[in-house]
Each structure stands twice: as structure tokens, then as C-alpha cells.
Amino acid sequence: MKTLQNLIGGSWEDSLGDALLDIVNPATEDVIAHIPGGSPEDVGRAVAAAERAQPAWAALPVAERVARISAWADTVAGHAEELAELECREMGKPVGVGRTFIEGAVGGLKASAAQALSYSFEETVDHPDGSSTRLLRHPLGAAAVITPWNFPVTMVLGALGPLLAAGNTVVVKPSERSPLSAVRLFELLDLPPGVVNLVLGDARAGAPLAEHERIQLVHFTGSVEAGRQVGARTGDMLRRAVLELGGKDPVVIDSGVDPVSTAAAVAFGAFINTGQICTSMERVYVHQDVADEFVAALVEEAEAYAFGDGHDEGVMMGPLVDERQRGIVRRHVADAVERGATIRAGGAEPDGKGFFYPATVLTGVDESMLVMSEETFGPLAPVVVVSSFEEGLERASRSRFGLGATVYTDDPAHMAAAARIPAGVVWINQWQGGGPERLYEPAGDSGLGATGSTAAYDAATRPASVHLAARSAS
Ligand code: NAD
């Protein structure tokens, strides 16, 4: 069976480490490939290649870097179906769902790279005394991008635009659970050798990469636990980190909204990608005026949410990525039921192969339960009935996480109040979206470092000022 290789300085190479990991199709439980476990030697070679390539890449005009990135994005777009098929095999996402997200990510890559054309990499300020200051934004050098498995292609593309367009080179370490699509993504790469390098493996590659002394920025997307370790190491090294971590996003549903269409939107937000999205709706607060109709409609939605192998026609939800992830979902449901919650839909695992779990609706939950306090990352919609919009907002804000939040309301005063939820992004009457202008920093344990829009360029560059004294009159 095939063992995947690393991409170092433009060449595909075997790992220098001995350990091998199985890649398992979560729908069939078949081993479909092997990857290296990762080694510091691989990381060292990749970082050296990135450093070697960086000066020439940074010396290209910005417009040329943007054009090269955009051309690669177009190539990726032409392979969206193939990449989605690989994602389906390695982590279970239905092919149609994957293709839609990959197409969106390609657009995002192009848009975020194109922001370099208007970003101020250099400007001169003239002072009244005749002196002047040049304000420069230098690229950092070699950066690391470490990604999770839930959107294997999207997460990589989402990080690369500003880093590369600003003149940095990159070492990417994709998740050990979903490397097939990342490898294919870089087989399609048409950038100078060493501008993007790929090292495979688990924390045995991730940790040495995050703490490599020549890595100037770590863009890490993943769990709070691993993010803490990365942040501790980069802090110790006095290097930058952008940490995009886990969440427990709330959705607040006001009286006066249409309960049936809102239930359909919440089902999508809670169950798409089998609930394995950092901004999945994981806590539902519904106003008592619409609660009965809303819950009935949500149960109907959940029961109609077809799960199965993501290659099959009509499947809306694939398996969870692995048995460990399914175990978390099982544990959260059992804990909730033990503490008095009621399963209104789903909750029973099917027999047979594959790490499947049905779309599940729970009522009678409260914040003492794991399902309301810890990230589940599974297809669960736990519903709390609240007596006012204010109560919903207040309880939505009570979490150690602060990634995103969604509010459904027709009341302009409540729309304004929604901004009080401590989260990086608040969506009103929609879920997801905002385009490349979306600027945010996660609140609480959900991450560190502003990103998106100009903040992504601020993070990818180091500001420096060059001050020129006034000429003395002769
Ligand atoms: P994870 O933290 O286990 O792994 C993420 C990546 O980090 C993997 O590539 C892994 O190999 C690597 N890694 C693990 N330990 C490391 C260490 N000590 N040093 C360096 N690298 C290390 O997360 P996961 O299970 O792959 O992904 C799911 C998590 O990611 C969820 O918590 C989810 O909410 C989060 N996530 C966040 C966002 C966001 O934008 N905030 C987006 C997607 C996923």
C-alpha cells in the first residue's frame, strides 16, 4: 500500500523517520494509505528549503506573487471534484458538500491574496520639520501552517493567501487523519520550489515545526489543548502564533421568527459536516413563544438528515472522522441523559461498519451538562427554552469559548444587542459568511491573534520604520 511522501524544496521525498500511520476510511474502516509518523529531521529539511526559497519569492513584485497564487487557485478549482472525493475517503465528508466548500475556499484564497494589491507594504510620512519616516511591512520569513482534519483542503487554502502574498514561504503540516487531499493539493502546485513545503505526520512533526527556531510565525488551527502547547512554545521562543481553536457556538432564536425555516437553518448549522465544524451550532437557545413549533420542526429535520457513505447519492451526512470522535459524541449524549435530558431524535448508533452517528436533538439540557459546556464536534443539537431574548443572550454569552455566535430575530434592537455576545464573529439571520473583509479575533479559549482582512497581513508581516532626518539648510 502507498506511503505518502513529503514535499521539500519542490521534490517529493520519503520521510527520514521510521514510524508509519494508517489512514482509515471512516465509512468502511478500511486502511487506505500509510503516512510517515513525522520526524524532526523532516521538519528541519522543510524549514531549510522554505528559508532558501524566501528571498527570491519576496523579491518578486506583489502583483506577480498574487498572479502566481491565483493561477494555482484556478488549477485547484479544476480539481475540486477529485479533491472532494479524497476528502470523502479520508474523513467522510459527502463529495457534494466537500466540493462546495473547496470551491468557496478557492475563491477565498484568490480574494485574500488579492488584498495584497491594496495593502500598504510601504508608505512615507513627511513631517513638518522636513524629516520623513518610511513605514515598511517586511515579510517574516518562513512560516508554519498546521491544520486539522475537518476541512482538509479549506483549512490549508484559508491560511496560505496572505502569508504567501506578503512574501513569506511556508511549511504546511496537515492533519495526520486527512493527508490525502493535502498531498494532491500540492501535487497541483505551480509555485517556485520551496515556496510551499509539506511535512506529514502527527505531533511528531507538528511539535518540532511549531518550535523550530527558524519558523517566524505559526498559524495553527486545531484543538484548544494542542493550541495551548503551541502557544506556550512560540511564547517561549518569542515567535508569533495565530491560534484558531475550538468552539461551543450558541444560536439564539427570538420570538417572532418563523420557527420552521429557522429550524431548517439550525439543522444545517448543527449537522452539516456531521457537526464537525469549529463554528457548528452546538448550543441552541429558543424563546418559549416559538419553542414547541421550533423543536417539532428541528426533530423532523434531524429525522430526515440522511447519513451514510458520502459517496452515495442523497447522503447529507457522512460518518464521524474516527471512533475516538464518535466516543466523545456518545459520552456527551449519555451524560446529558443521565442528568435529565430527553432524546427527541437520533441518539442510537447504527450497527455495522463505519463511525456513524445520527442527527440528534436533545431537550431539557442545561449548562451543567458536557453537551452544553465542552466542544462536542458531532451532530448534536441540544435545545434550551428561554423565557426572553435577553435570557438567551445572557446564557449564550456564558461560555469559556468565543468563536462565533448566531442570532435569529426580526427585532432591530435585538439585532443591535447581539453584538454583545463575546465572539469573534456574530451572524444575524444567517450562519457563516462575511467575505475576505471579515476581521476578527476569537474570544476566550477559542484562540489568539486577530486575523482576516488586513489583520491577516499585519500578522504575516513585521512593521519597521526608517526615519530620515531633515536636511539642514546650507
Ligand atoms: P488537533 O489539535 O488534534 O490537531 C490539529 C493539528 O495539530 C494536527 O495537524 C495535529 O497533528 C497537530 N498537532 C497536534 N498536537 C500538536 C502539538 N503539540 N504541536 C503541534 N502540532 C500539533 O485538532 P483536530 O482534532 O485535528 O481538529 C479539531 C479541532 O480543531 C476542533 O477543536 C475544532 O474546533 C478545531 N478547529 C478550529 C477552527 C478555527 O478556525 N477556529 C477550524 C477548524 C477546526
Q: CATH number of the domain that 423 lies in?
A: 3.40.309.10
Residue 439 forms part of a structural domain:
no
Residue nearest to atom 11 of ligand 1 (CA): 202
User: Is residue 320's pLDDT more than 80?
Assistant: yes
- Spacing of C-alpha 440 from chain mean position: 13
Distance CA 50, CA 172 (A): 10
Residue that is written with C-alpha cell 463529495 in the block: 95
pLDDT of residue 236: 96
Mean pLDDT of 384-399: 98
Is there a domain that residue 398 lies in?
A: yes
Whole-model pTM: value is 0.97
Clarify whether residues 224 and 333 are in a common domain.
no
Q: Phi then psi for 120, rounded to 5 degrees?
A: -85, 95
| Residues 302 and 204 occupy one common structural domain | no
pLDDT (0 to 100) of residue 438: 87
For residue 313, which phi and psi values (nearest 5 degrees)?
Answer: -60, 135
Calculate how far, in angstroms, residue 154's C-alpha sits from the geometric centre of ligand 1.
14
| pLDDT higher than threshold 90 for residue 434 | no
The residue from 278, 282, 301, 375 that is catalytic is 278
Which residue range is the domain that position 422 belongs to? 249-428
Mutate to test the pocket of ligand 1, among 181, 221, 243, 272 (most ligand atoms within 8 A of CB): 221
In the chain, the number of structural domains is 2
**Which of 35, 146, 153, 220 gets mutated to test ligand 1 (max ligand atoms within 8 A of its CB)?**
146
Same domain flag for 146 and 14: yes
According to DSSP, the β-strands at 380-386 and 425-428 are unpaired
Q: Which three cell numbers stand for residue 305?
A: 438528515
Q: Is residue 231 predicted with pLDDT exceeding 80?
A: yes
The reply to whether 438 falls in a domain is no
Verify that 263 and 126 share a domain, yes or no.
Answer: no
The larger pLDDT score, comparing residue 168 to residue 472, is at 168
Query: What is the pLDDT, as a whole number, of residue 474?
Result: 56
Q: Which secondary structure element, helix H or strand E, spans residue 35, and what is its range?
A: strand 31-36
Cell of 11: 521534490
Q: pLDDT per residue over 151-166, tens digit each?
A: 999 999 999 999 999 9
Regarding whether 256 and 112 lie in a shared domain, the answer is no
Same domain for 230 and 301, yes or no, is no
The three three-digit cell numbers of residue 12, written as one number: 517529493
**276 shares its domain with 374:** yes
Residue 461 CA to ligand 1 centre (angstroms): 24
Rounded Cα distance between 379 and 267, Å, is: 9
Instruction: Please indicate, yes or no, if residue 52 is contained in any of the structural domains.
Output: yes
Alpha helix segments (H runs only) across 188-322: 203-210, 224-237, 259-271, 288-303
Beta bridge partners of 22: 34
Report if residue 470 sits inside a domain.
Answer: no
Task: Calculate how far, in angstroms, residue 206's C-alpha sits from the geometric centre of ligand 1.
Answer: 10
Q: Are residues 324 and 178 in the same domain?
A: no
* Least confident segment among 35-44, 315-324, 434-443, 445-454: 434-443
pLDDT band at 437 (very low <50, low <70, confident <90, very high): confident
Candidates 39, 212, 220, 223: which one to mutate for ligand 1, based on the most atoms within 8 Å of Cβ? Answer: 223
Question: 232 with 261, same domain?
Answer: no
Would you tell me the crossing angle of helices 80-91 and 152-165 to the nearest 10 degrees? 130
Cβ < 6 Å from ligand 1: which residues?
146-150, 173, 175-176, 202-203, 206-207, 210, 221-223, 226, 229-230, 244-247, 278, 375, 377, 403, 447
The CATH number given to whatever domain includes residue 59 is 3.40.605.10
Residues 57 and 93 occupy one common structural domain: yes
Q: Name the DSSP letter for residue 473.
A: P
Task: Give a yes or no: residue 363 inside a domain.
Answer: yes
Q: Cα of 56 to ligand 1 centre, how many Å?
A: 31
Which residues have C-beta within 8 Å of that of residue 238, sequence separation ≥ 6? none
